[in-house]
Amino acid sequence: MQAIARPLARAAPKHVRYAGSLSVWSAVPAGPPDPILGVTEAFKADKDPRKINLGVGAYRDENGKPYVLNAVKKAEELLALQNPDKEYLPITGLPEFTQAAAKLAYGADSAPLNSNTVAVTQSISGTGALRIGGAFLGRFYPHSKTIYLPTPSWGNHTPVFRDSGLEVKQYRYFDKKTVGLDFEGLKDDLKNMPEKSIVLLHACAHNPTGVDPTPEQWKEISDIVKEKQLFPFFDMAYQGFASGSTSHDAFAVRHFVAEGHQVALSQSFAKNMGLYGERVGAFSLVTADPEERARVDSQLKIVIRPMYSNPPLHGARIAATILRNEELYGLWESEVKHMAGRIIDMRHRLHDNLVNLNTPGDWKHITRQIGMFSFTGLTQPQTKALADKAHIYMTADGRISMAGLNGNNIDYFSESVSKAVKGDL
């Protein structure tokens, strides 16, 4: 009997086989939109020629354009002449950069720096420095796994430290009534923290409020931190960019170190060198002696290795070239001073305009605040009206990037704000 040949079964294509089944990612919920990204998207979609974007956290020149520093351009020219390789950096980065970054932050006369007791590593900008610091403290700080942040603080601080394994709590900082520093509330909260807690401090140009303690207030804060044996973790993302002086902006860090605090420090070169996309930063810790520094350094490498192996090369070379070349350093300082000065000028123009327009309220906080950002005191309905009717975009809490203002739009912005506050927009 002859066997009947049967056609071989053919496997269905994958897209057919799984067409009726649920994706393995079907239960992943949509995340909330980023508030800054939403501002930028709304701005881009707006076709009105008067539109202003005050949400972006990056410097813009007098014409509202991105600005590449001349010091950066010249540093890149020097680097190109050297025909450098593209080899991997060590885990803790480019030594020429980390040494220069630490000197910039702590000062050339820093005792810990000159006694080789500062452990420092290159990081993926300031965010990476905070993440390294959070992971290191979570693993090795023996007294607490809680970090206290000012209210408000940079939006990314909370997720960075939570993802590092730390519990996040808050202390009072901003006074909505005065649109200034709640210094008494700040001191009271520091005094009532559990001893040896970790406290995050914005070294200068507090983000998002632009409100900084005075040098005398920093001294009081240092005394309380010492009395309560708190661990100070400084975030310094704006050195030089806030006041125009790198020394002035480093006052808090240098004072704490001089007073004997073993600080942790995050540095970013995004704002003060305009190296936003190059991701240049540093994280450092003050240790007791060179032997302890070596042990801390070895553990920093172990924290970093599984995160990203080693940091980017090009931006670190640019920053190191500027910081180690006397001529370029001088040029960079002058450019940082110019950027800071332009923002300070915009603060004064905005204040004067609002006063001259008889805008209800006290607007002195605009000039008292410092750095890229300002908490204007505008309400959510007012910011919505400015977006809907005047094509001016900012975060709903009234925070603006002063760098988005210039001679071409400051008067229109001032007039629109005045109308919004008066209810006439």
Q: What tens digit of pLDDT does each residue of 31-90 get?
A: 888 877 788 888 999 999 999 999 888 999 999 899 999 999 999 999 999 999 999 999
**Ranges 32-36, 43-47, 216-220, 377-381, most confident:** 216-220
Q: In the predicted model, is pLDDT for residue 6 greater than 60?
A: no
Q: What is the DSSP track for 205-270?
A: S-TTT-----HHHHHHHHHHHHHTT-EEEEEES-TTTTTS-HHHHTHHHHHHHHTT---EEEEE-H
Model pLDDT, residue 85: 95
Model pLDDT, residue 11: 56
Average pLDDT over residues 386-392: 95
Tell me, rounded to whole angstroms, the distance of Cα 379 from its chain centroid. Answer: 24
Catalytic residue among 271, 332, 363, 419: 271
Q: What is the mean pLDDT of the chain?
A: 93
Q: What tens digit of pLDDT does each residue of 80-119 get?
A: 999 999 999 999 999 999 999 999 999 999 999 999 999 9
* Confidence class for position 294, pLDDT limits 50, 70, 90: very high
Cβ burial, residue 145 (10 Å; 0-12/13-18/19+)? middle
* Confidence class for position 8, pLDDT limits 50, 70, 90: low
Model pLDDT, residue 33: 80
Nearest Cα residue to 202 out of 128, 267, 112, 273: 267
Q: What tens digit of pLDDT does each residue of 127-156 get?
A: 999 999 999 999 999 999 999 999 999 999
The pTM (predicted TM-score) of the whole model is 0.90
Structure tokens at 5: 């040949």
Q: In the predicted model, is pLDDT for residue 261 greater than 80?
A: yes
Residue corresponding to tokens 């813009």 = 60
154 in active site: yes
Average pLDDT over residues 171-189: 95
Catalytic residue among 182, 189, 212, 235: 235
Q: What tens digit of pLDDT does each residue of 235-252 get?
A: 999 999 999 999 999 999
